[in-house]
Amino acid sequence: MTVRHRLTTVERVRDERSWLFTVRNEYGESTEVLLVPCEGGVEAWVNRCTHQNQRLDTGHGATVRDGEIVCPRHGSTFDSCSGYCDNGAAAGTTLRSVEIDVDNGVVYLTDAAVSYLHDGEITGDEDDDGPSSTSHISF
C-alpha cells in the first residue's frame, strides 16, 4: 500500500493558481513539483519545462492562463490537465507527472518513486532566480 502524504487543499491550489513543493526523486536528488488546477481537481507536474530545464514556477507562482501553464523563458504552454505542449520550442512534449490523490478536497502525494521533503521551492538554489526571458508573450 502506498503511503499518502497530505500536501494542501484543492481550494488553496485554485486560489493561488499553483502550489509548489519539493520531493526527493528515485536518484536521491531534490526535485520541485507543481500543483495546478485542472478540470474538477488538480494535477501534479515536475516543475521543469521540457525544452530547456527551465523552472515553470520560479518561487513566485506559475503563470497559468486559460488552463495552460506558461513557460517563462520561451512562452511554450502546457495543458494543465494533460501536461502536453502543442506550441513553441517545447511542442510535442509532455511534462513529467507526479502521482497524487484527492480525497474530500485534500491533495495527497501518493507517488512511490518520490518522497516528500517540504512545501515550497528547493532551498539554497540561488543560481536559479528565474529566466532571462526570450518569450514573445508579455505579462
Confidence band, pLDDT 50/70/90 cuts, at residue 124 = low
Residue 20 pLDDT exceeds 90 = yes
Domain of residue 19 covers 5-119
Residue 1 pLDDT exceeds 60 = no
Say if pTM beats, i.e. exceeds, 0.95.
Answer: no
Q: Which contacts of 29-33 are long-range, i.e. CB under 8 A and separated by 24 or more positions?
A: 30/117, 30/122, 31/114, 31/122, 32/57, 32/121, 32/122, 33/98, 33/109, 33/114
Provide the domain count of the chain: 1
CATH code of the domain containing 57: 2.102.10.10
Does some domain include residue 125? no
How confident is the model over 51-70, as pLDDT tens digits?
988 999 998 899 999 999 99
Residue 137 pLDDT exceeds 60 = no
Does some domain include residue 81? yes
* End-to-end Cα, the chain, rounded Å: 44
Does some domain include residue 131? no
